[in-house]
Structure 1
């Protein structure tokens, strides 16, 4: 074999080795990214003062719904605190389709019983209907609920076999209600994995307007951005509603009031945005 042919084969061998190493590097990097995503524990946290309370993303979304319906009815944050604490006790903030020995036909977020006049099974399994029914009874039976302990107000509505159990969830109810009604700016954070697909702006807007009727969201032409005119506590309520619902609708970032939440960064930081509006960005 000639020296020239030998050198060519050696050069080709070096190129093959380099290609294998590069491909292996890309594979290892992708595996590292995949494994790091898996290691992310998806969790939402509400912080008030020195106290923090964690929920799974689906639970936080239901807490946001309960707060939004309270706002839609013109009720104060105290009502949202009562509603959230009650749902934590009754269903762990999940829309469950079963009851217990004390109430075998109990259903939904508030474990309402069709046999006791709360509505049909289909109705009480609708979280917006169930939450409105809870507040309807709260306003009717406990008109002075703002002056009462949360557990007293909740028990008057629910008539539970465990009347003192709601007290265990009062701090949690207050923390989430404070953030989700806009009284604690940037008080709610969700740590989430990357979206598995494109976001759904239309579904997000439909859910928001079902829970909070007097909003005017606009979806961009490409469907990746939702803008909602808002100021003050109202804006903070809306932007934190979006964070609580980020997992379900593929939200990647939100901004309002000089602060922004970025999904990839797992938290809040200073940000620029549209003045007097909440901006919600979804995965493309």
Structure 2
């Protein structure tokens, strides 16, 4: 058999080189996209039980943003934590907490709602805030839904072909709901993107807050950008000298929920703090502090750390009598 010609050998080497180059470029593109999206393809967030039993749920920044939105929409409506857990378990089952543009027949979005079945237009359903709100609207019409098994309550809304499917997500949904409603303090962290280039700084945070908590959410929540020289936040938003710090005063934001309970101010504060951490990758948030504790981008050990200068008792318990605001610092 004749030996391969020099030309054929060169072509073989060029082909192998080209194939290796394509693989390397694909890998580089994937890594770039992971950075741009905050690593939404792999777990970067974690919520742990406040019971010290080691129970935890890991999820991606994309899922964290959507879970925080679902929770914020619910608490703005005044629904109890049980309703939030039902909504989260439903979205975990239906879309894995991803806002997908496809599904069975014409199903779309976080809850796989169908335009043909009266859930709204395609554009509306693909808006996570709208999708969550319409889910709660239907859930609240289910008699005694808080007393039903979670999978039964979810099925009364969804009418799924797999009515028992929601039950397996209840433990994770309960953990998420406890953290994102603020009942479970200092239990949610995300890796974030330390040193990330900012998008729109504090204005992006304000816009996302208004999106999730409602058009008038900035009023009762008192979200203002404070002046470094001022002793208290002023009604007219002003940026600190570094232009990076947003102060969210913790105020009573709602009436009693439909199960007769009222959240404490501290619970409200932890909801805002956990919401900010959940949105850290998307909004280029570098640091969040509340009640003597601080989260910093790059901290992946699921622990909020004591803040420098905070009282020891407040830092240990995650509460403090003076915890009247959440401070959010965006990337430089």
TM-score by length of 2: 0.70
Residues 116 and 265 (structure 1), Cα distance of their counterparts in 2 relative to 1, 3 Å cut = closer
Query: Could you tell me how far 1:78 is from its partner in structure 2?
Result: 0.7
Aligned residues: 244
| Residues 208 and 269 of structure 1, relative CA distance in 2, 3 Å threshold | same
Report the Cα distance in structure 2 between the residues aligned to 1:265 and 1:120, rounded to whole angstroms.
40
- Cα separation, 2, equivalents of 1:241 and 1:81: 16
| 1:255 aligned residue (289, 293, 302) | 289
Superposition RMSD in Å: 2.0
- Indicate conservation of the 8 Å contact 2:43/2:58, yes or no: no
Of the three residues 50, 59, 63, the one matched with 1:55 is 59
Matched, 1:137 2:151: no
CA distance in 2, matches of 1:116, 1:128: 19
More deviation in 157-166 or 259-268?
259-268
- Check whether the contact 1:224–1:281 (CA below 8 A) recurs between aligned residues: yes
Structure 1 or 2, whichever has the larger Rg, is: 1
Q: What's 2:98 paired with?
A: 94
Could you tell me which runs of 5 or more consecutive residues in structure 2 were left unpaired when the two chains were aligned: 1-33, 226-238, 251-264, 311-321
Within the candidate set 227, 252, 255, 2:247 is matched to 227
Q: Structure 1: which 5+ residue stretches go unaligned? A: 1-36
Q: Which residue of 1 aligns with 2:306?
A: 270
Q: 1:64-83 CA deviation, whole Å, 9 max, x = no partner?
A: 11110110000111111011
1:102-113 correspondence runs (5 A): 104-113=105-114
Distance 1:107 1:262, change over 3 A: same
The structure that is strand-richer by fraction is: 1
Q: For 1:76 and 1:46, how far apart are their aligned partners in 2? A: 20
Indicate yes or no: 2:221 matched with 1:215.
yes
Asked if 2 retains the 8 angstrom alpha-carbon contact of 1:209 and 1:215, the reply is no
* TM-score normalised per structure 1: 0.81
Alignment partner, residue 74 of structure 2: 70
Relative to structure 1, is the Cα distance of residues 143 and 257 closer, same or farther in structure 2, using a 3 angstrom cutoff?
farther
* SS class of match (2:137): helix
